């Protein structure tokens, strides 16, 4: 995580609601320092505070007015724009990074950084872009690539969350694969299950290999593999018990071996 929390700068916003939306996104993703260049009036009972959610308690009231020149002279600057240069010959807006790439690059930057957003509709002017250090653009549909100012800020700040958020509300997603010995025991149980239902010997090897590939890709947890143990164990015991009853009363086995003349081949059988 970067030692410097990025500052968010909004240049010449036209509507207070977008400033409030950006403040809320900052609160969501662990940022607190909002700078405003030529902002609209932000009344405590107005649209900005209405859109800010809990950011009305700190981020928005603590926002500071600043000039564009002060931003450029004080911070490593990243300008966010929907319009980019198409190649290196148009270097005013080129090269550019996506928000995800920006997070990677800023992770190693030990400098005070400002993420700069422009006006609704018009964005940042070329003469402003020329003074900034980096360009960031959100990949969007070629048919309609311009996002609402609040939406664009939310997307960019979301991608920066690994630099700004120590802990989220989501539980730990670390996935601990079951012990290999337990996974091998599962394959043994599966083999016993095939025995209990007298699975066709000609298909057996391929079916067991298919199951091994499936479990290998799934990376089951210990709890998951033990649940599967229980399912197979119970199914195998029930099949064995039913067969004992049939043998005791000399009844034909409905789960007997498939015929050996090839008539068992059915649509969808693996590798047959």
Residue 169: DSSP 8-state? S
Q: Note the pLDDT of residue 97.
A: 83
Q: What is the DSSP letter of 56?
A: G
Helix (H) or strand (E) holding 7: strand 7-11
pLDDT at 266: 47
CA 106 from chain centre, in angstroms, equals: 19
Residue pair 30/164 in contact (Cβ under 8 Å)? The answer is: yes
For residue 164, CA distances in Å to 31, 217, 241 come to: 6, 33, 60
Chain centroid to CA 172: 14
Pick the CATH number of 7-164 from 3.40.1280.10, 3.40.50.2000, 2.40.100.20, 3.40.50.1110: 3.40.1280.10
Q: CA 222, CA 139: separation in Å to the nearest integer?
A: 40
Whole-number pLDDT of residue 3: 52
- Residues of the chain with confidence (pLDDT) below 50: 1-2, 259-263, 266-267, 272
Contacts of 94 by beta carbon, 8 Å cutoff, 6+ apart: 84, 85, 86, 87, 88, 135
Model confidence pLDDT, tens digit, residues 28-53: 999 999 999 999 999 989 999 999 99
State pLDDT tens for residues 173-226: 566 888 899 999 999 999 999 999 889 999 999 999 999 999 888 888 888 999
Q: What is the share, in percent, of the chain residues with pLDDT greater than 70? A: 81
């Amino acid at each position: 995580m970067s030692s410097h929390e990025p500052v968010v700068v909004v240049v010449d916003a036209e509507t207070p609601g977008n400033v409030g939306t950006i403040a809320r996104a900052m609160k969501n993703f662990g940022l607190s320092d909002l700078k405003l260049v030529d902002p609209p009036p932000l009344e405590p009972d107005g649209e900005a505070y209405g859109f800010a959610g809990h950011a009305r308690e700190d981020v928005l009231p603590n926002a500071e007015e600043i000039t564009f020149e002060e931003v450029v002279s004080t911070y490593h600057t990243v300008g966010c724009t929907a319009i980019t240069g198409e190649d290196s010959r148009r270097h005013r807006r080129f090269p550019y990074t996506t928000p995800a790439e920006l997070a990677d690059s800023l992770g190693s930057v030990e400098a005070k950084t400002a993420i700069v957003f422009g006006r609704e509709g018009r964005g940042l002017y070329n003469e402003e872009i020329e003074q900034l250090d980096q360009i960031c653009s959100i990949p969007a549909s070629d048919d309609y690539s311009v996002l609402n100012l609040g939406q664009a800020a939310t997307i960019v700040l979301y991608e920066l969350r690994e630099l700004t958020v120590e802990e989220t509300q989501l539980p730990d997603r670390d996935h601990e694969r079951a012990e290999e010995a337990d996974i091998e025991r599962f394959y043994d149980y599966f083999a016993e299950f095939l025995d209990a239902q007298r699975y066709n010997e000609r298909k057996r090897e391929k079916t067991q290999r298919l199951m091994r590939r499936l479990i290998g890709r799934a990376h089951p947890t210990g709890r998951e593999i033990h649940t599967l143990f229980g399912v197979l164990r119970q199914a195998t015991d029930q099949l064995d018990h039913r067969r004992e009853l049939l043998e005791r009363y000399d009844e034909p086995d409905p789960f007997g071996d498939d015929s050996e003349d090839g008539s068992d081949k059915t649509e969808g059988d693996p590798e047959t």
